[in-house]
Amino acid sequence: MTAPSSLAKKPRHQPQSTHARTVKLLQKQRSATNRPLNTFSFRYGARIHDLRGEGHVIKTVREHDGLFRLYYVVHRDEADGTNL
């Protein structure tokens, strides 16, 4: 019998959830403005907040009035191989 792992598992979201779609878009394109995010999630800011809490590093830069660019940097577990 093996001891339970002390490492926390990354949350898995349903493929069509707004969490999963947000991560997929940012990981694929490495950056996106708030406009495409707003097309499938009117509360994309809350999704970004949740994803950051799960360990995703997402940088937000204001481009001009009402337009923000979000950059997907890395998941903390993948950055150095440990949980932070």
pLDDT in tens, 3-42: 554 445 566 677 678 888 899 999 999 999 999 999 988 8
Q: Which of 41, 46, 51, 40 is nearest to 73 (CA)?
A: 51
pTM above 0.75, yes or no: no
Q: Long-range pairs for 11-19 at CB < 8 Å and ≥24 separation?
A: 11/54, 18/43, 18/44, 18/47, 19/47, 19/50, 19/51
